Amino acid sequence: MGRSLELYFIDDRPDGMLTAEVFNWTGHLLCSPRTRLADALKRPEASRTGVYILTGERDGEPLAYIGESENISDRIRSHDASKDWWNRVVFISTSADALNKAHAKYLEARLVENAKVVNRIALENGNTPPRSSLSEAGRANMEAFLDQLLMVLPAIGVDLFVEYARAKKHPELRADDNTSPVFELKVKKYQISATATLVDGDFLVEKGSSARLKWEGEGSWDASYAKLHKELLSTGVLKPEGDLCVFTSDYAFRSTSAAAAVVTGRPTSGPVSWKLLSDGRTYKEWEADQISDV
């Protein structure tokens, strides 16, 4: 069953301040660029008890910081004076200001734990803070709150908690299973062989697939794929083996071209490079057939 997310663009601009809420959820998010910080701090939700996330870059690498406070605005003022690298802040509270200090510390600890497990973006937090002591009911409430929060944050562009490396949901998939197509990409010159499955909208390159060890593309136009290739190597999703590297787990790419680029080590058209294992049709041809059947 789907869920409905309500975004309110306070400045009537996609890159300005916004609030995010989910129907029948008590959580409330206020997101602001640093350039609008003074206006954000004037809003009542900025002074509530809750947690916050700072995002930005240091030395060209993404960086984040997660904290909590009984008055979030006080901590953000302190960070504004002491931290130069961040450019965006997300205030996380409840619409009725129902969180207390113990709730906030528990959520802070769980968010840091999640971010470090995913390990996509570096945290400026030194250590993982301990979870606060809550009753069994309190922990259950905060875990339910966290489930909703982890769905909303990627929708507003905060993806340090999104796990793209994952165990396959359907280990029984076969190449001849029409409901779960399997594609392959081979580069004979470099002895590269990769397979991928399309499952529930995810393009999953399978564990054990090989890829180029070094990125060979050039120019700023392919910077995002080069950055992704580097990220997968640094986080261990890609493990060097000789002149190539191997996927240590299934990995969900946002597009067939992103998957093809990481595998081949250079910008590559995914729709024509990935071919159906069962009959050799390209992904583009297979997709056209799917659409024609609608």
Distance, in Å, from the CA atom of 259 to the CA atom of 35, rounded to the nearest integer, reads 35
Q: Of 36, 147, 30, 146, nearest to 90 (Cα)?
A: 30
Q: Where are the alpha helices (DSSP H) in the chain?
A: 37-42, 72-82, 101-118, 136-155, 223-234, 256-264, 270-273, 283-292
3-class DSSP state of 30: strand
User: Residues of the chain whose pLDDT is less than 70?
Assistant: 166-179, 217-222
Dig out the tokens for 39 from the structure: 């206006």
Q: For residue 135, give every residue at least 6 positions away whose Cβ sits within 8 Å of its Cβ, in sequence order, or none.
A: none
Is residue 198 a contact partner of residue 256, using CB atoms and an 8 Å limit? no
Q: Could you tell me where the beta strands, DSSP code E, fall in 182-222?
A: 182-187, 192-199, 202-205, 210-212
3-class DSSP state of 33: strand
What count of other Cβ atoms lies within 10 Å of the Cβ of residue 59?
6
Reported as a single tens digit per residue, the pLDDT across 105-131 is 999 999 999 999 888 888 999 888 999
Up-side HSE of residue 293: CA atoms within 13 Å toward CB? 6
Dig out the tokens for 218 from the structure: 């050039």
The residue type found at 256 is T
* pLDDT for the residue numbered 195: 96
Distance, in Å, from the CA atom of 4 to the CA atom of 278, rounded to the nearest integer, reads 38
DSSP per position, 67-125: EEESSHHHHHHHHHHH--SEEEEEEEEETT----HHHHHHHHHHHHHHHHHH-SSEE--
Residues in the chain: 294
Taken in order 94, 96, 97, 98, is the CA torsion positive or negative?
negative
The residue type found at 43 is R
CA separation (Å) from 52 to 47, 157, 252? 11, 15, 28
